[in-house]
Amino acid sequence: MAVSVKKAIGAGIAAGLISGLVKMGWENVFPPRTEERDAENPPYKTMRMLGLSDQVLRQKYTFSGHEIEWPGFIMHYGFSVSWAVIYELLRHKFPAITKGHGTWYGIGVWAVFHLGVMPALNVVPSAKEQPKDEHLSELVGHMVWMWTNDLVGGKVYDELSNKD
């Protein structure tokens, strides 16, 4: 059976949005960074490197009396949705990436970004300089994130396919 690109993209978007919530919740329970290092977290550092101004980065909305900066959410959910869509597109052609319900894929994404790309760009310290708590939180968080993508994306794809 050939993969439907449209259904895979739809499933990836749904999975990425839900898994983004899961990852954000994970980080509230197991914060990866100290408060000092989180004063400007990786999404904000990355956006600043891309040339976005403080005026853009510090935009807020208010909900239930809380002022919440939303630009970091764009980066967070953009990352989550992008990798979930890629996963959904690849899982049908290369089923091996679904090993461990995508947890190995999540480990790969973590390693590439948290041990490679982000330290190389000075978004986070080198892998050796990152605290063990950060490694643990991010590693397991990426595994849970991709496990969520695997379950949600697979279910959404199947549901979309059953409507044919």
Q: How much is the pLDDT for 163?
A: 81
What pTM did the predictor assign? 0.92
Average pLDDT in the chain? 95
pLDDT digits 0-9 by tens, 51-108: 999 999 999 999 999 999 999 999 999 999 999 999 999 998 999 999 999 999 999 9
Name the nearest CA neighbour of 117 among 46, 24, 31.
Answer: 46
d(CA 3, CA 5): 6
* Cβ pair 50, 123 in contact under 8 A: no
Mean pLDDT value of segment 138-156: 98
Judge whether residue 1 has pLDDT over 70: no
- Cβ neighbours of residue 11 closer than 8 Å, sequence gap 6 or more: 88, 152, 153, 154, 156, 157, 160
Using the Cα atoms of residue 38, residue 43, residue 49 and residue 52 in order, give the sign of their dihedral.
negative
Tens-place pLDDT, residues 103-123? 999 999 999 999 999 999 999
Annotated domain spans of the chain: 5-162
